[in-house]
Amino acid sequence: MSLILSEQLAPLISAKQLTCIREDRILFEQLSLTICAGDIIQVEGPNGAGKTSLLRILAGLSQPFEGEVYFQDQAITHCRELFHQNLLYLGHLPGVKGEMSAIENLTFNLALHGLETDQVEDDLAQVNLLGFEDSLASHLSAGQHRRIALARLLNTKAPIWILDEPFTAIDKQGVQNLEQLFLDHAEQGGCVILTTHQDLTLAAKRMKKISLTYRLY
């Protein structure tokens, strides 16, 4: 199947004829897509349909059985460092270390990805963690762990955001704040590719979807 999004803009990321096989089962095959600046894309489908596998392939973290992923028309296998400089990927797990405080976790993650760390307190305040900066992550809730991870979005200049279940354990207000952040990012020339089981309030004309189905074979 082939899905073309925002044909009028040059693509930030695209893929041609992707086939993904896991444990002898074809999750999806011959999937082609083009994602441009300004696009907000939701990958949807039932558990086991291959949503996380597709995100990992698009992020260059897994290899497809067949097909190729491109960053601005260059195969990411040929420009991996440049691609990763333009990518922010957040997986299903928040990647928070329990023995470190909220501010230490955020500072460590930002520094690890070469991002600025001088605004970490303000960033934690923006994700409603004011007063929890020095709390050990092991004493915080799953939702607070997720917000520590999501605070990275406030610092990155990467145009491509690939986010696996970013709304997990986030309250209603947090969901609304994230949706606005995604809109702002898209309007500034970025793109967002995400999976979620949440019902989003973004206008249907603003959100585009890639639908995967569960296959038994």
Whether residue 82 has pLDDT greater than 60? yes
Q: What is the mean pLDDT of residues 106-115?
A: 86
Which of 64 and 92 is assigned the larger pLDDT?
A: 64
Name the pLDDT band for 31 (thresholds 50, 70, 90).
Answer: very high
When the pLDDT of each residue in the chain is averaged and rounded to a whole number, the result is 90
Query: How large is the average pLDDT for residues 119-130?
Result: 91
Kindly report, residue by residue over 166-185, the tens digit of the pLDDT: 998 888 888 899 999 999 99
Q: 3 pLDDT exceeds 80? A: no
Quick one: average pLDDT of 203-211?
83
Query: With helix as H, strand as E and coil as C, how does the chain read?
Result: CEEECCCCCCEEEEEEEEEEEECCEEEEEEEEEEEECCCEEEEECCCCCCHHHHHHHHCCCCCCCEEEEEECCEECCCCHHHHHHCEEEECCCCCCCCCCEHHHHHHHHHHHCCCCCCCHHHHHHHCCCCCCCCCEHHHCCHHHHHHHHHHHHHCCCCCEEEEECCCCCCCHHHHHHHHHHHHHHHHCCCEEEEECCCCCCCCCCCEEEEECCCCCC
Q: What is the pLDDT of residue 9?
A: 53
Say whether pLDDT at 6 is over 80. no
User: pLDDT, tens digit, for every residue of 85-98?
Assistant: 999 999 988 889 99
**Structural tokens at position 67:** 């097909």
Please report the pLDDT score of residue 187 as a whole number.
Answer: 93
Residues 1-86+158-217, CATH architecture: 3-Layer(aba) Sandwich (3.40)
Strands across the sheet containing 160-164: 87-90, 160-164, 191-195, 40-44, 207-211
Question: At residue 2, does pLDDT exceed 90?
Answer: no
pLDDT, position 10:
65
Share of the chain above pLDDT 90, in %: 72
Task: List the chain domain ranges.
Answer: 1-86+158-217, 98-157
Residue 4 has pLDDT above 80, yes or no: no
